[in-house]
Every structure is written in structure tokens, then in C-alpha cells.
């Protein structure tokens, strides 16, 4: 039963959507109610914090990937495309200035 509840608490997306403080508070409360030893509670809190960081990183990467796909579909110029165009404009402007 304990493992089942523990796994439920460590669900990826749920962790990613909660704040780190909320996760720590939930883990502490769960440790107290389940009457864990101090060592078990510390290990559990550490595991919760690690799972939170892993879930957050994974969630962030998925969001970034989704945004990149949307931008590609919109066919918007990238930052490097705009910089290349600005550099070309600057070079052409300089040539025109030199000829005048």
C-alpha cells in the first residue's frame, strides 16, 4: 500500500505542475502520516525532490519541442535568419555609402 501511494505522489506531470515547496510539504506530511523513520522520511524527501527535478526538466523539454514545431509550421524566420538579413543589409548599406 505504501509503495502504491508513494508512486502516486511521484507521478511525473503532477510533480511538474506543482511548486517545489508544495512537493516538499506533501512529502513531509506523507512521511509523518505514514510514520516513517527519520531516515526513511529523509530518503523519501530526497527522492521526491529528484523526481520533481526530472519531471520539470522533461516537461520543459516537451514544451520547448512543441513551441519549436509550432514556429516551424508558422514558417517564421529564426533569430539567425534575421541576423543574417541584417548583416547583408549592413554590408549593402556600407557599399552604397562607399560609392557615394
Residue 49: is it exposed, middle or buried by C-beta count within 10 angstroms (0-12/13-18/19+)?
Answer: middle
pLDDT of residue 75: 85
Task: For residue range 47-68, list pLDDT tens digits in order.
Answer: 877 887 888 888 888 888 888 8
Which three cell numbers mark 19?
Answer: 511548486
Predicted confidence (pLDDT) per residue in 13-53, tens digit = 465 566 777 777 777 777 777 777 778 877 877 887 788 78
Q: Please check whether residue 54 is in contact with residue 16, taking contact to mean a CB–CB distance below 8 angstroms.
A: no
Task: Please state, in angstroms and rounded to a whole number, the distance separating the CA atoms of residues 92 and 89.
Answer: 5
* CA distance to 61, 78, 92, per residue, from 67 (Å): 10, 13, 34
Q: Is the pLDDT of residue 80 over 50?
A: yes
Amino acid at each position: 500500500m505504501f509503495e502504491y501511494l508513494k508512486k502516486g505522489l511521484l507521478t511525473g506531470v503532477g510533480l511538474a505542475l506543482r511548486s517545489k515547496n508544495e512537493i516538499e510539504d506533501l512529502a513531509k506530511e506523507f512521511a509523518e502520516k505514514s510514520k516513517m523513520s527519520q531516515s526513511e522520511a529523509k530518503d523519501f524527501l530526497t527522492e521526491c525532490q529528484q523526481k520533481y527535478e526530472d519531471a520539470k526538466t522533461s516537461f520543459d523539454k516537451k514544451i520547448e519541442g512543441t513551441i519549436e514545431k509550432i514556429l516551424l509550421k508558422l514558417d517564421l524566420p529564426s533569430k539567425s535568419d534575421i541576423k543574417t538579413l541584417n548583416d547583408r543589409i549592413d554590408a549593402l548599406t556600407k557599399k552604397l555609402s562607399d560609392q557615394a
